[in-house]
Chains A and B, each alone.
Chain A
Amino acid sequence: MSHLEIPGISAKWVIGFFGLFHISVAAMAIGMAFIVAVLEIYAYRNKIRRYDLFAKRTQLFHVCIYNIGTINAIGLVFALSGLYPQFWSQIFVHFFWPLIIEEFLFFLLATTLTFHYFFWEHLWGHKKLHITLGVLLIPLFFLQMYIINGLGGFMLTPGFKEGEVSLFKGILGYDFKAMYNPSFLMLQLHRALANISYAGFCLAGWCGIRLYLTDDAKKRDYYEDCGRIAYYIAFAFFLSIPIIGYFYSHVMMKEASQAFWDLMLGRGDILVLGIDTWWLKHFLVAAMLGSSLVYFHRIDKTNVPFSLPKVMVWSIALFYLMFYMAMGMVMTWLFFWLMFIAAIISALISLFLLHSNKNSARALFILLGVISFLTVMLGGYAREASRPRFVDRVSAYDNIYVPEERSPYLMVPVKPGDIPIVKQETTKEAQLIHDRCVDCHTLDVIRDYKDDDWDEVIKTMINYGTELTEDEAKLITEYLKAGKPF
Chain B
Amino acid sequence: MNHENTDGKSTDTDKTDVLINTTVSDYDTEGLAIKEEGLREGKIFPGLDADYPLRDPSEDPRWAVRTVKIWMWITIFCIVGILVLMILGIWYD
Contacts and interface: CB of A to CB of B under 8 A. Distances in A.
A168 B72 contact: no
B92 A216 contact: no
Given A171-B93, A176-B93, A121 B23 contact: yes
Interface string A124-165: 111101101100100110010000000000000000000000
Given A119-B67, A126-B57, A52 B48 contact: no
Interface string A42-58: 01100111101100100
A48, A125, A176, A222: residue with the most chain B Cβ atoms closer than 10 Å = A125
Interface string B21-34: 11100000000000
A133 B90 CA distance: 30
Nearest to A127: B54
Nearest to B74: A108
Nearest to B7: A47
Contacts of B65: 122-123, 126, 129
Contacts of B39: none
A300 interface: no
A124 B67 contact: no
Contacts of A171: 92-93
Nearest to B79: A139
A49 B51 CA distance: 6
A276 interface: no
B12 interface: no
A111 interface: yes
Q: Interface SS of chain A: helix, strand, loop or mixed?
A: helix
Contact of A123 (B46, B60, B89): B60
Contacts of A136: 72, 75-76, 79
Nearest to A43: B52
Interface in A87-123: 97, 101, 104-105, 108, 111-112, 115, 119, 121-123
Closest 9 CB pairs between A and B? A176-B93, A125-B57, A122-B64, A47-B52, A125-B60, A121-B23, A47-B6, A124-B55, A125-B55
Interface of A: 43-44, 47-50, 52-53, 56, 97, 101, 104-105, 108, 111-112, 115, 119, 121-127, 129-130, 132-133, 136, 139-140, 143, 168-171, 174-176, 216, 218-219, 221-222
14 contacts: A47-B52, A48-B52, A49-B50, A49-B51, A49-B52, A49-B53, A50-B47, A112-B75, A115-B68, A119-B67, A124-B53, A124-B59, A125-B60, A176-B89
Interface of B: 6, 21-23, 42, 45-61, 64-65, 67-69, 71-72, 75-76, 78-79, 82, 85, 89-90, 92-93
